[in-house]
């Protein structure tokens, strides 16, 4: 099965076609945010403040990239465990976030929120940070620069490899795939 090429932000029409287990190559613009950035965004929302970028229709990559080496735009950029963001995720999905990239399982609360908001969860392969870094063409700090690697970055990517783990209908490849291979 060949990979599906997708441009970020992903149109709702394309997003709804994706099924758990689909291999994708993502291009376009995505944003990064890890634990500390998610906490700050959540606190800003609780205070009634705007987020540092409009999440509507966007994809967030759970990564804290390492510093870039000379001649590179970014250092290693492998995914971090997504479950650490679960307590903040439903709020962002309600604001229109459509995609998340990370590794590991998502809570039932997040999956239900994804179904309600028609969003998708992609997994990137852990341990492949150097390979993933090669798909990143540009990096720009958007907010929370004081957090260093956990700041929010805007990334321009080309052919970033990922797998649809949870589709917009709530189908979870970690559960479905396990059943198929038993």
Query: What number of helices (H) and strands (E) belong to the chain?
Result: 6, 7
pLDDT digits (tens, 9 = 90+) for 142-181: 999 999 999 999 999 999 999 999 999 999 999 987 655 4
Q: How many CA atoms lie within 13 A of 63 on its CB side?
A: 33
pLDDT on residue 178: 60
Give the pLDDT mean for 120-129: 88
Structure tokens at 93: 């999905």
> Using an 8 Å Cβ cutoff, are 91 and 42 in contact?
yes
Whole-model pTM: value is 0.94
State the Cα–Cα distance between residues 174 and 37, nearest whole angstrom.
Answer: 27
At which residue do the structure tokens 């060949």 appear? 2
State the Cα–Cα distance between residues 168 and 22, nearest whole angstrom.
Answer: 12
- Cα–Cα nearest to 137, from 75, 52, 73: 73
pLDDT on residue 182: 41
Residue 20, Ramachandran bin (φ over 0: left; ψ between -120 and 50: alpha; else beta): beta
State the Cα–Cα distance between residues 41 and 94, nearest whole angstrom.
Answer: 13
Q: At residue 125, does pLDDT exceed 90?
A: no
The stretches of 12-162 forming alpha helices (DSSP H) are: 12-17, 35-46, 89-94, 108-117, 129-133
Give the pLDDT mean for 40-56: 96
State the Cα–Cα distance between residues 28 and 143, nearest whole angstrom.
Answer: 19
User: By percentage, how much of the chain surpasses pLDDT 90?
Assistant: 82
């Amino acid at each position: 099965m060949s990979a599906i090429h997708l441009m970020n932000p992903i149109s709702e029409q394309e997003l709804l076609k994706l099924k758990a287990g689909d291999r994708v190559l993502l291009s376009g613009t995505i944003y990064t945010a890890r634990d500390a950035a998610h906490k700050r965004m959540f606190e800003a929302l609780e205070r009634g403040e705007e987020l540092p970028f409009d999440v509507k229709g966007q994809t967030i990559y759970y990564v804290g990239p390492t510093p870039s080496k000379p001649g590179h735009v970014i250092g290693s950029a492998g995914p971090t465990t997504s479950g650490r963001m679960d307590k903040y995720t439903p709020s962002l999905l309600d604001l229109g976030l459509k995609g998340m990239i990370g590794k590991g399982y998502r809570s039932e609360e997040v999956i239900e929120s994804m179904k309600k908001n028609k969003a998708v969860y992609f997994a990137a392969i852990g341990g492949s940070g150097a390979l993933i870094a090669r798909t990143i063409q540009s990096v720009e700090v958007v907010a929370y620069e004081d957090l260093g690697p956990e700041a929010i970055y805007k990334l321009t990517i080309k052919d970033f490899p990922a797998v649809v783990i949870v589709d917009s209908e709530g189908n979870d490849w970690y559960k479905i795939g396990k059943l198929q291979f038993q």
